[in-house]
Structure 1
């Protein structure tokens, strides 16, 4: 009886936590279909703001810039972060602890410090602000997160697999791509998703490294706060939330299928 009450209390507690976390998002989604421009006043269901979103060149230009920067930064940071995590796995425990401490500095540092540092660096190197500096900045602050996501998988990997591949005649690059990468694939995917999300979400670093007249989603929303958020931003936020939700569902569904397939293969062997 006590255990049943405890389970009910835990489920109720988790439900309240998730309700608190997702209630603002659900409210935003509902009002993205509101006919009225005034937030909080429901006048009827409408898709006008979604139509206006795709007709707004200013916002769509910011979306295009954000996606281009996020995709390029994700690819570069995932490659560099994965290679760094693999190399870190070869160090001793003491050396790895020191290097991880250095890796954690950008993660723990306030974004404003990183943003100003990058702005000063680009000014010192006389690099004109634009998409190039924006990509460099996003790569710089997302690499540590990729390292933290991939390193646990590297440490869990059986090191004898690499030695066996090399003994069988595989070249180092072949051992990396055909043995190591498949073993740590889940960590790489997690790191890439984290880098992509952080890049899209970032405001402070983008604000200090973007060119005048160039906008990302975060900077354009910030500029709107001075005169009021347009309802088209509610529509854009809803689309982004749905896309991320679908990707997470597909990723989890794929992992579940792989897990069930492995269990079925083990059952056949037994």
Structure 2
């Protein structure tokens, strides 16, 4: 078949990629700048990375981000696993329930953040780390659900049936057969949920309380006084962690054994 292609498709795609990634490359490069002024290059240095490691405010924000992401990703993965197992069975409202599970992927994050804040205020929920864990768990569920659901759909159902033929009950069949086969999808979903929670700004900004500042909120507060190589160094570290975890999720999702 002769497929007519839009002219200059390759060139336009290249320009879009340059527009998206050149600023990131510049940010990473200037994180090694020894000059206090972020936009004036003097010479290469790792001093800013050393400073962020001993900064108490950054350490506190990093701890809050890690605790938040770990708790939210774990809870979201457990809920997503149960939801994926339920969705594997046919029932009348399955399409509507699955659409509701994927809804956080469609809704604008600012709308979800404001609505969550109003709900928590109306219910008298204390804003802080606990409120952020609840909110992050809710919007991380679809990120954990999709890899698990895809892995479950690709599984051969005859394994579970064979286990039951060998007198294994449902729980034993799940623990010894289904769960090991689902493990790559579970880890991929957990990794995606962890990265999503770690990088989130809007929900954390609206729901954070005293002493619960996360790294994205700390960066936003710091750039009000001007961008420094220290901010570039923090952003580079977060970028490296995100790329590493997303790559790990991709490879885990492709495992066949």
- Answer yes or no: same fold by TM over 0.5: yes
Shorter-chain TM-score tier:
0.7 to 0.9
Q: Which residue of 2 aligns with 1:155?
A: 153
Q: Which residue of 2 aligns with 1:168?
A: 166
Q: Which residue of 2 aligns with 1:80?
A: 79
Q: Shift in Å at residue 105 of structure 1?
A: 2.1
- For the 8 Å contact 1:53–1:236, the answer to whether it is kept is yes
- For the 8 Å contact 2:192–2:245, the answer to whether it is kept is no
After superposition, where does 1:73-222 map in structure 2 within 5 Å?
Answer: 73-92=72-91, 95-222=93-220
- The number of residues matched between the two structures is 251
Change (3 A) 1:247 1:152: closer
- For the 8 Å contact 2:81–2:145, the answer to whether it is kept is yes
Q: Shift in Å at residue 63 of structure 1?
A: 0.9
Secondary structure of 1:158's counterpart equals coil
2: CA distance, partners of 1:91 / 1:97: 10
TM-score normalised by length of structure 2:
0.86
Q: Shift in Å at residue 169 of structure 1?
A: 2.3
Unaligned runs of 5+ in 1: 1-5, 263-270
Q: Shift in Å at residue 34 of structure 1?
A: 0.3
2: CA distance, partners of 1:138 / 1:174: 32
2: CA distance, partners of 1:150 / 1:253: 14
Change (3 A) 1:188 1:250: closer
RMSD of equivalent CA atoms: 2.6
TM-score normalised by length of structure 1:
0.82
Unaligned runs of 5+ in 2: none
- For the 8 Å contact 2:147–2:253, the answer to whether it is kept is no
1: CA distance, partners of 2:253 / 2:113: 36
Higher share of residues assigned helix: 1
